[in-house]
Amino acid sequence: MAKVAVIGAGNVGATCAHVLAQKDIASTVALVDIVEGMPQGKALDMRQAGPLQDYDSSVVGYNDVAEGVAGADVVVMTAGLARKPGMDRMDLLKKNLEIVAGAMKAVKAKAPGAVVVMVTNPLDVMTWVALKVTGFPRERVLGMAGVLDSTRLRTFIAMELGVSVVDVSAMVLGGHGDTMVPLPRYSTVNGVPITELLAADVIEKLSDRTRKGGGEIVALLKTGSAYYAPATSAVQMVEAVLKDRGHLLPACVALEGEYGEKGICLGVPVIIGARGLRRVVELRLTEAEKAMLKKSADSVRKGIDEVAGLIG
């Protein structure tokens, strides 16, 4: 079985490692953090939960990033400063650049065949940073945000209609932030478009809540940010890779002309398998949807431009 390394043992990373262990899809889950004793303690705690939750995955804690990621098949990058109330994701850009770049250098050296799943914010920019620092092909560097944004929209649709979330599918494109682009036409309840089930003003309300989904949780927690849904979203992507599922998911990838964009990483529908990205799926968008996606892409490009000269 495979090895998955999770960099960052905070709430998102630790939850990610635990969900991975529960799914028993990797023989080894390496939990990496620079805080002495923390990843080791959490890893041991997870191992002791194994007999009660029927999993045999070996969860091991490391302080050295290079040692922890060595030989990994998939690396999940969660380490970084958490967003605080009133802080835009783009405010995190420069603060998290150094953290991500350092970790990706270790991945390049010690796990040269790995698929990288980026979770650290600002997500789209940090996915681009990981791509540049590792030099990996775009197929092996993926950003998690689209799965998270879409699952938030799925949740809000199910809550509004009083239906099972299992029956709800949703599609959200664009950058992971206020300019994301929910697509009601491609969001359904057991195959029925939500445009047939909800009024336009209600759909816009749910879309707006999705755009502000992370901020809503930050405001409620006051001293932290979301972690259950982000961690589980990352695990879904890891599982798609390890099981070669051919899963169609919205994810952040480097674009090479798709949707009229090049040189940036942006959330679009993709098919994910054993080596990461199989292909980008290009949806037919309305002119209004194209305009919203262009606005989102421009916002991401601005962030990339700010860090492009800082990567050594």
Active site residue 176: yes
What count of residues does the chain have? 312
Beta strands (DSSP E) in 33-107 are: 58-62, 74-77
Helix, strand, coil % over all residues of the chain, rounded to 5: 50, 20, 30
Cα–Cα distance for residue pair 270/253, rounded to 1 Å: 8
Q: Which of 176, 211, 247, 301 is catalytic?
A: 176
Both tokens of 38, joined, read 């923390």
Q: How far is CA 229 from the centre of its chain?
A: 10
Task: Give 13's Cβ-side CA count (13 Å radius).
Answer: 31
* Count of Cβ atoms closer than 10 Å to residue 283 Cβ: 14
Do 277 and 136 meet the contact criterion of CB atoms below 8 Å apart?
A: no
The separation between the first and the last C-alpha atoms of the chain, rounded to the nearest angstrom, is 35
3-state secondary structure of 12: helix
Kindly list the catalytic residues: 176
